[in-house]
Amino acid sequence: MKNYKILEIKESVFEDNNKQADLLRAEMKKDKTFLLNLMSSPGSGKTTTLVRTIDALKSTFNMGIMEADIDSDVDAKTIDETGVNVIQLHTGGMCHLDADMTRQGLDGLSAKGMDLVILENVGNLVCPAEFDTGATKNVMILSVPEGDDKPLKYPLMFTIVDVVLINKIDMLPYFDFDMNAVRERAEKLNPNVKVIPISARTGEGIAEWSEWLKNEVTKWQSEEN
12 found inside a domain: no
Count CA within 13 A, CB hemisphere, residue 74: 8
Exposed / middle / buried, residue 216 (Cβ in 10 Å: 0-12, 13-18, 19+): middle
Tell me, yes or no, whether 19 lies in a domain: no
Provide the residue range defining the domain that includes 164. 25-218
Q: Is the pLDDT of residue 48 over 90?
A: yes
Neighbours of 225 (CB within 10 A): 7
User: Is 5 inside a domain boundary?
Assistant: no
- 8 domain residue, yes or no: no
* DSSP letter, residue 45: S
Q: What is the pLDDT of residues 153-192, one digit of tens each?
A: 999 999 999 999 999 999 999 999 999 999 999 999 999 9
188-217 residue pLDDT tens: 999 999 999 999 999 999 999 999 999 999
Task: Work out the percent of the chain whose per-residue pLDDT is above 70.
Answer: 92
The candidate with the shortest Cα–Cα distance to 50, out of 158, 218, 200, is: 200
Tell me the DSSP string of 102-113.
HHHHHHHHT-TT
- Residue 11 domain-assigned (yes or no): no
- In-domain check, residue 3: no
